[in-house]
Structures are given as C-alpha cells and as structure tokens.
C-alpha cells in the first residue's frame, strides 16, 4: 500500500511540477515588480510599551483532530482584524 501511494505521489509531483513552476514564476514576477505586500509595519518599528497583560483562560473542550493547528489560526496575522472590532474612547 505504501509503495503504491509513494509511486502515486511521485507521478502527481511530476505532472504538477511544470504548471507549479509556471504559476510560481508568474507570482514571483508580480511580487518583485509590484511589491503589493510592502507596507508600514508599526508592530515592529513603532516604539510601544506593554504596561500590563492579563490572560484569562477557561478549558471548554477536549477534541481529537487531524489538523495540526486551530481552525482559523490568526495570531500571527497582526494587521488582519478579527471578525468583531469595538472602538471606544474616554
């Protein structure tokens, strides 16, 4: 069984190699020339001081899953806002 899946995987990789190369080359050209991803990154360049951080956590469930990360993982997407945002002022 594993041999078959190994050969199958190799065949799929060989078939996909050409189209993948073309796709990544096109995407690479767009990235290098247009630089659409370039932006001000205040999270790394603006001086800020964290004065206090209080974490609350409550165990709600235990699950079995084949996924290696939590669904909708977004902790590293600093500039992408959460589904709900509230803004208040003094």
Partner 1 sequence: MTSDNVTSDNVTNNDGVGAVADPNSVNPAEQFLETLKEAAGAAEADEADSLKVATPAGGDDGVNKCPQCGGSDVAFVTSRTALVCKFCRYEWQPESLDAALGLSENIDRLKGTITSTNAADIEDDAALVTLKCTGCGAEVVIDTDHNLKARCHWCKSVLSLNNRIPNGAVPDGILPFRISKAEAMASIKAFAEERKRFALPAFAETFRPENVMGVYLPYMTVDGNIETRFDGFGEITISTRRINDNETEYTANVFKVGLDMKLEVDDLVVETASSKANINSDVSTNNIINALLPYDVKKVVRFNANYLGDEFTSERRDLDIDEVEHYAVQHFLTIARSAAMPSIRKFSRGVRWDAEAIHIHGSRWTSVLLPVWLYGYVENRKGRQITHYIAVNGRTGYTMGSVPINWAKARAVSWGAAIGISIITWPIAIWLAIMDMSS
For the bound state, the minimum distance from the C-beta of residue 37 to partner 1, rounded and expressed in Å, comes to 8
Half-sphere CA count of 15, side-chain side, radius 13 A: 6
Q: Is 22 near partner 1 (CB under 8 A)? A: yes
Q: Is 21 near partner 1 (CB under 8 A)? A: yes
Which residues, 61 to 90, sit near partner 1 by CB under 8 A?
61-79, 81-90
Which residues, 40 to 59, sit near partner 1 by CB under 8 A?
40, 42-59
Q: Is 31 near partner 1 (CB under 8 A)? A: no
CB 78 within 8 A of CB 46: no
Q: Is 10 near partner 1 (CB under 8 A)? A: yes
CA angle 31, 68, 84 (to 5 degrees): 70
Going by C-alpha positions, the residue among 78, 76, 90, 68 that lies closest to residue 41 is 78
For the bound state, the minimum distance from the C-beta of residue 31 to partner 1, rounded and expressed in Å, comes to 11
């Amino acid at each position: 069984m594993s041999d078959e899946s190994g050969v199958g995987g190799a065949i799929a990789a060989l078939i996909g190699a050409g189209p993948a190369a073309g796709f990544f080359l096109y995407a690479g050209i767009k990235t290098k020339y247009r630089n659409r991803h370039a932006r001000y990154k205040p999270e790394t360049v603006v001086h800020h001081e964290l004065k206090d951080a209080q974490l609350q956590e409550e165990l709600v469930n235990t699950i079995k899953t084949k996924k290696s990360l939590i669904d909708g993982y977004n902790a590293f997407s600093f500039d992408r806002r959460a589904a709900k945002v509230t803004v208040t002022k003094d």
